[in-house]
């Protein structure tokens, strides 16, 4: 299956270290060779880089590893295709506009018998993946539930999205990253974990390649950075592993909602 990577931080932060580890799983230490993508938020705007080539061989991925784009929210994905061909339009993350904001989404897993459920009018899939169809359906349901104007209580929106994700999980594996550029949501079916780094910072060592970073030299005492991944990216830190039905909502690096399935 695919792998996910995301970041929520309280200051603009680069994700070079974590992405360097993830990119190795796209053909070197992992079988995810069917494309990759990454989205960086900058205020209300975002910039997305995608490539249908494996991340370990992509010149665009090499740019991301060497050019420290700083952002408070990042969503990334490396693909092992199961639904839909290997093509740019089927490469995650996917982005749509809702309530005057860009929503970005990536999915890990495989769904079955979903075609009749994922009907949508305003939000249409461009490619032919179950992932993109699920994203369009989620936004369609949110629009029908809350209307054309964003509610003041966005927590209620993400709580509703979690219920929709519970429905989707009955169709197969559904690990999801979703962001509106302010909050970052992580929903787990079987493989998802996160780590929050804050002072006092220490050193971290990547699992997939021989890279070590001393975060104390790269941060200030006030920095808070949370990284979410399908599997831990470092071998000397304590990652928090989510279980089926668990989900978290992060804002500026901190947990805003922590839901643990019963």
Q: pLDDT tens, 157-215?
A: 999 999 999 999 999 999 999 999 999 999 999 999 999 999 999 899 999 888 888 89
Predicted confidence at residue 27, as pLDDT, reads 82
Q: pLDDT tens, 130-141?
A: 999 999 999 999
Q: How confident is the model at residue 86 (pLDDT cuts 50, 70, 90)?
A: confident
Average pLDDT for residues 9-25, to the nearest whole number?
91
Distances (CA, A) of 76 to 144, 158, 203: 28, 20, 23
Q: How far apart are CA 157 and CA 242, in angstroms?
A: 21
- Asked if 41 and 47 touch (Cβ cutoff 8 Å), the reply is no
The rounded radius of gyration (Å) of the Cα atoms in the chain is: 17
Q: How confident is the model at residue 30 (pLDDT cuts 50, 70, 90)?
A: confident
Q: pLDDT tens, 231-262?
A: 999 999 999 999 999 999 999 999 999 999 87
Q: Which domains does the chain have, with CATH numbers?
A: 3-259 (3.60.20.10)
Q: pLDDT tens, 112-153?
A: 989 889 999 999 999 999 999 999 999 999 999 999 999 999
Predicted confidence at residue 253, as pLDDT, reads 97
Q: Residue 193 catalytic?
A: no
Indicate which residue of 2, 136, 188, 193 is catalytic. Answer: 2
Sign of CA dihedral 121, 122, 123, 125: positive
Task: Give the predicted TM-score (pTM) of the model.
Answer: 0.94
pLDDT at 1 over 70: no
């Amino acid at each position: 299956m695919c792998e996910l990577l995301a970041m929520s931080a309280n200051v603009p932060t680069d994700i070079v270290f974590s992405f360097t580890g993830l990119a190795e799983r796209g053909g070197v230490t992992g079988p995810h060779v069917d494309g990759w993508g990454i989205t960086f938020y900058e205020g209300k705007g975002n910039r997305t880089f995608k490539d249908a080539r494996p991340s370990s061989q992509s010149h665009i991925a090499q740019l991301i590893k060497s050019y420290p784009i700083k952002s408070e929210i990042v969503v990334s994905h490396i693909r092992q295709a199961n639904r839909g061909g290997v093509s740019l339009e089927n490469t995650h993350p996917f982005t749509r506009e809702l309530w005057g904001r860009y929503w970005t989404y990536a999915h890990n897993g495989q769904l079955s018998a979903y075609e009749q459920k994922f009907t949508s009018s305003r939000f249409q899939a461009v490619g032919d993946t179950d992932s993109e169809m699920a994203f369009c359906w989620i936004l369609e349901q949110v629009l029908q539930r809350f209307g054309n104007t964003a509610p003041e209580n966005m927590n209620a929106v993400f709580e509703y999205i979690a219920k929709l994700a519970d429905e989707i999980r009955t169709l197969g594996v559904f690990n999801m990253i979703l962001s509106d550029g302010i909050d970052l949501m992580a929903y787990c079916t079987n493989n998802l974990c996160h780590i929050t780094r804050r002072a006092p910072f220490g050193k971290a060592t990547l699992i997939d390649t021989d890279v070590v970073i001393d975060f104390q030299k790269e941060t200030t005492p006030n920095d808070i950075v949370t990284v979410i991944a399908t599997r831990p990216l470092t071998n000397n830190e304590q990652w928090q592993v989510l279980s089926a039905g668990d989900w978290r909502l992060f804002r500026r690096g901190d947990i805003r909602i922590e839901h643990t399935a019963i």
